[in-house]
Structure formats: structure tokens, C-alpha cells
Amino acid sequence: MKNNCRQRFVCPALFHRNPNAGLGGALFVAQDNGSLSLVDCFFKNNSAFQGGAFYGQIESHILVIQNCSFYNNMATNYGGALFFHSISVTLVKCNFHGNSCPKAGAIGFTGVANKLLLVGCKIVRTNAEVNDTHHTRYMSAVTISTEKLDIQHCIFHDNVGSGLLMVETKGIISNCSFVNNTGNDAGAITSRGYSSVIVVKNTSFFYNSGSHASALFLKNQVTLVQNCLFRSKHVSKTWHVISISSKRSVSLHICGCVFWESQLPFESFVAIWSSIEDNFIHATIYFWNTFIQKDNDLFPVQQISVVNGTTTRTVSVNRVHLNEVSSQYASGELLFGHQLFYSELNMCSNTLLRY
């Protein structure tokens, strides 16, 4: 179905087994200058090249999808259930189950100036697994590129290809749950893009797994992780809970978090990672009131791993070099501190104030 009118479009309806070799298996929306809403709809077994159930793009003021379900939809290129391009979208209390696509198994979203809001959604059992190595970096249940992201009270559960991938994105993830997701770089969340600023608050990460990190793999400019709980499986000195790529200068702020583990070495939780042996380490990590729970006791985080290629070393977090930033970056050392740089705090604050 194609819609390009200006009228509000509300449709409690079933969209079932609609194949399309192009865009949008069941529904395609383009050049709509009014608002569009879908309420109480069910999309099942639809397929397309992009947007297995729904494809939306260009100029719509806002698209609202509420109380809709997307089951077993498929796309061959991007967005197993939904794909949106240059359109602001709000998804409220929607269920995604069993959708599949090599890139963005459930939801794909691109649009730097457009906002994506997800509230109370469940993204479950998405399959974004591919054999083509060219596509592995895009494998995820939800793939997003925007400067206006807000994800609240959502559940990402049992997804193959990671739960959430953000590329050149600024936004906040709050009060969410990531459980038993499996991914390439990280099982739960991967963030790429050196202009990205990500805030993760009040979120739990249980039993996720990835090749570099179980919970978070970060290649963005600044990340604030606040009041989060982590519990992982299969973590070791070469497989961590949070991992940062250090090819460029990146910063990670961890505040009020608990790593809940029982039989893992202390340095297994946070790592600076580089694929190149002896590559410079350009990363800054700040810990505030962050602990490891081990044998019913809480221990402050005191050391992390630094991984260069196949070499792993342990570094104490008690080292402070706040006044030697330039020289330390130039020599490839690792910076630690117990204060937050005001510029980075402002970036995180500005991200929060967007919403």
C-alpha cells in the first residue's frame, strides 16, 4: 500500500504475507507533508528489499506507530520489519518478534536531523546473522544513524547480531534491558562514529555476548554510562564487558555502576582495544562510584585491560595524568582520572537536554 496524502491515517488492520521486491513489503509512505499514525496494527510474514513490513521516507512531519506488532517480517537489504529515511518517528509499545535482515534485523533508521523515539517496545529474537563479512559490522536488531535518539523502557532480548547499533549518533538510552543478545563486536550495544555522544542510564545488561565485549563496544567520542547493572557470561582477559576501540581519542565515563560477577578476574570488565599490535592508546576512562560485586562483596574498580593485537596487559586505574593530556596522547599512554572534563560533561548534558 502506498500513501502520499496529507490526512491522518489510523488503521487497526492486519498486513499479512505481502511480498515486494522493492521498498516496503506491506506499506510504503513517501512525500507526506502531514502526520501519519498507525495504531493496533499487525504485520506478519511480509517481505521486501528494504523495510520488510514498512518503509517510510521524506518530509513527513511525524510518524507515530503505537501498539503495533511485527512478526516474522524479512528484508534482504535493510530493515527486516521497518526502515525509515529522513523522517521523524515515534514508536510506542510495539512488539518485534522473529524479524530478519542482514542489516537492521528489526528496525533501520537514517536521518541526521530527524528524531527517533522508542518507548516501551520489545525487540525479541531478531536474526541479523550473515555470512558475508562485508555486512557483519551492520549486524543488529536495530541500526540507527541520527543526532536525535531517545530510547526508553525498551527490552532487547535473544537477538542474533547484537541488540542495538548506533552509527554517528547522539542520544540517550534509559531504563532499558538487554538480555541474552549475541553480536559481532558487542552483544548488547555497539556505537560507531567519532562525532557520537551516547548516554546510557538505568539500564541492565544480562548474559549478552560478543567478540570484543558482552555489553558495550564503543568507537564514539564520549560515552556516559550511569547507574547500570552488568552481568555477563564467557568473559575472560580477552573477552570483556565494556570495550573501547582506541584508534582515535575517545572517552568513557562510568558512574554508579555495578559489574555483578562471581568467578572472573577483576581486569576482565573494562578494556581498551586495538586490532593493531603496538598501536597508540588514545582513550580516557573515568570511574565514579563503580564497583564489582564478587562473592557477596563490593570492590571498587582498580584495574582494566589494554589489548594491542594479541597482547594484553593490565593497567591500574589509580594513575592520574589530567595535566599531561597532550604529551600522554602523543606517547600512546592511557589516561585515568577521578574528575570529569567539563567540556565532555557539557556534551552529555546537552544530549540529555534534547529530550
Domain limits, the chain: 9-161, 168-355
pLDDT digits (tens, 9 = 90+) for 194-241: 778 899 999 999 999 888 888 999 886 788 899 999 987 654 444 688
Cell of 154: 525498551
> What is the rounded average pLDDT of the residues 267-279?
61
Rounded to an integer, what distance in angstroms lies between the CA atom of residue 10 and that of residue 289? 48
Rounded to an integer, what distance in angstroms lies between the CA atom of residue 173 and that of residue 150? 6
According to DSSP H, which parts of the chain are helical? 325-331, 342-353
Structure confidence at residue 4 (pLDDT):
45
How big is the chain by its Cα radius of gyration, in Å?
A: 21
Q: What's this model's pTM, rounded to 2 decimal places?
A: 0.85
Q: Identify the CA nearest to 198 among candidates 242, 228, 168, 155.
A: 168
3-state secondary structure of 210: coil
Whether the CB-CB separation of 35 and 7 falls below 8 Å is answered with: no
pLDDT digits (tens, 9 = 90+) for 28-46: 887 655 678 899 999 999 9
Segment among 82-96, 121-135, 238-252 with least mean pLDDT: 238-252
Structure confidence at residue 151 (pLDDT):
97
Count of beta carbons in the 10 Å neighbourhood of residue 237: 15
Rounded to an integer, what distance in angstroms lies between the CA atom of residue 190 and that of residue 183? 9
Q: For residue 124, what are the contacts with CB-CB under 8 A and spacing of at least 6?
A: 95, 96, 97, 98, 155, 156, 157, 158, 159
Segment among 117-126, 229-238, 244-253, 311-320 with least mean pLDDT: 311-320
